[in-house]
Amino acid sequence: MNVDIGNALGTTPGVTEATLERLDDRVADAHERIADGMVNDEFGYASLNLPETTDPDAIRAAVAPFEDPEAVLTVGIGGSALGAATLADALDSDVDAYFLDNVDPDHVDALLASLPLDDVVVNVVSRSGTTAETLANFLVVREAMADAGVDWTERTFVTTGESGNLRRLAEAHALPALDVPEGVPGRFSVLSTVGLAVAALQGHDVEAVLAGGRDGMDALSGSLFESPAYAYGATTYALAERGARTNAFMPYAESLETFAEWFAQLWAESLGKDGLGQTPARALGATDQHSQLQLYRAGPPDKLVTLLRPTERSTSTIPETDLDGLAYLGGSSLGDLLDAEFDATEASLAAAGVPNVRIEIDRVDERALGELLFGMEAACVLYGELASVSTFTQPAVEWGKNAARGLLGGGAFPEADAVDDKRELRIEGR
Ligand SMILES: O=P(O)(O)OC[C@H]1O[C@](O)(CO)[C@@H](O)[C@@H]1O
């Protein structure tokens, strides 16, 4: 993974090399804190040890009973789904991967109706074992399997904490069970059982993903000028301090679109604390050049754009054409066109004084993805240290959970009462 921060210098908002030099002293201190947290396996910091502590054999053993499934269905939400989905959507496999990470009945019903329930492995993932969406979806999936005459206990494994509903379910029905890693918040758990079980079932090289993560570990140092991950974390932090409230994360590869979704949770849930943070806006190149780029380039000077691409792509030649004004495309390739658009967008933003950071990986494969995932996690941890926020907690999400639970009769929660206090000013349609 390489990071180029040159287009964040002298922009609006922007940083100077002097700023980064001064900031580098704080990066060195932060790195020491991070390194100590890793050595002591402290809550949260333990996440950055996963490339070394995750046991691929345990993952393979848990999924071994499920030989050559047609598909794997993950029932989970947030960090319990997005990491596995990132790898599944980035890498090709003969085993289809599906994710139920929402409780939209139309979507759930349609997906279950489309699946070969007698040849699907169900992976229920929840660290807490209490997440309403995940447990509700699991109950619906289990019912659908029973209705289809499928013994769900033969086709289900769980990934969960050492106690809770899913752990009890696994014990009661002798389901294969994977442990979620101790001290690792869900959004940091992709390089563990949580993110890698689906990859193992899909036949991906889990060791290579972890090796990429170790490449990322090896690239950490006490200076942002020597560590791509810290260069990204420090630069995005410095830009946020100078007004870049939004980070438009724009991969130029369809295979990395879900990665942007994973990044959004990591960045928002880790850094959105105490009135601080940087809003991750998910975008996709080149598509969003025809959608959001107008705002990025000519809207309020309150954002940075992160441009991510693999430097190796397939070719896919564009046939020669005499279409009016388009002959120049003939004989080129779609990859060339996409890269030209990447370069053009980068230059377009720079010309407008909009800060942008380039992240490049060699190709979209297991090892590069492992390093990229680790790198963004390390960048996030560094940003959190520099911003002095509690990177590894997410207290703000509990209010809504309690309100929903109270509304459904799951207990007496004052938050639910507050829902009734909604101020109304309805404008009626026809
Ligand atoms: O794995 P669990 O406990 O079901 O949590 C799922 C997700 O919900 C959150 O706890 C937020 O509510 C995320 O941090 C987490 O990734």
In tens, the pLDDT along 54-63 reads 999 999 999 9
| Domain ranges within the chain, ordered by starting residue | 2-36+210-387, 55-180
411 pLDDT band, cuts 50/70/90, is very high
Tell me what percent of the chain is helix, strand and coil, each rounded to the nearest 5.
55, 15, 35
- Same topology for domains 2-36+210-387 and 55-180, yes or no? yes
- Name the average pLDDT for the chain: 97
Mutate to test the pocket of ligand 1, among 43, 74, 75, 77 (most ligand atoms within 8 A of CB): 77
Phi, psi of 227 (to 5 degrees): -130, 110
Using the predicted structure, report yes or no on whether residue 320 has a pLDDT greater than 90. yes
Atom of ligand 1 nearest to the CA of 401: 12
Burial of residue 180 (number of CB atoms within 10 Å: 0-12, 13-18, 19+): buried
Per residue in 153-170, pLDDT (tens digit) is 999 999 999 999 999 999
Name residue 336's amino acid. D
Residues near 225 by beta carbon (within 8 Å), at least 6 away in sequence = 20, 24, 231
Using the predicted structure, report yes or no on whether residue 30 has a pLDDT greater than 90. yes
Q: Please, what is the angle between helix 257-271 and helix 82-90, to 10°? A: 160
The listed CATH number (3.10.20.340, 3.40.718.10, 3.40.50.10490, 3.55.50.30) that belongs to domain 2-36+210-387: 3.40.50.10490
Residue 420: per-residue pLDDT = 86
Q: How far is the CA of 324 from the centre of ligand 1 (A)?
A: 53
Query: How many whole angstroms separate alpha carbon 76 and alpha carbon 66?
Result: 19
Per residue in 71-123, pLDDT (tens digit) is 999 999 999 999 999 999 999 999 999 999 999 999 999 999 999 999 999 99
Q: How far is the CA of 101 from the centre of ligand 1 (A)?
A: 11
> Residue 241 has which token pair?
């301090």
The overall longest dimension of the chain from CA atoms, in Å, is 70
Query: How many whole angstroms separate alpha carbon 355 and alpha carbon 14?
Result: 6
Name residue 174's amino acid. A
Q: How far is the CA of 334 from the centre of ligand 1 (A)?
A: 39
The listed CATH number (3.40.50.80, 1.10.10.60, 3.40.190.10, 3.40.50.10490) that belongs to domain 55-180: 3.40.50.10490
Q: What ipTM was estimated for this complex? A: 0.98
Active-site positions read 269, 290, 401
Using the predicted structure, report yes or no on whether residue 315 has a pLDDT greater than 90. no
High-pLDDT (> 90) share of the chain, %:
99
Q: The tokens 């054409």 sit on which residue?
A: 321
Residues near ligand 1 (Cβ within 6 A): 77-80, 126-128, 131, 134, 185-187, 269, 394, 397
Chain-centroid distance, C-alpha 52: 20
Strand partners of residue 96: 71
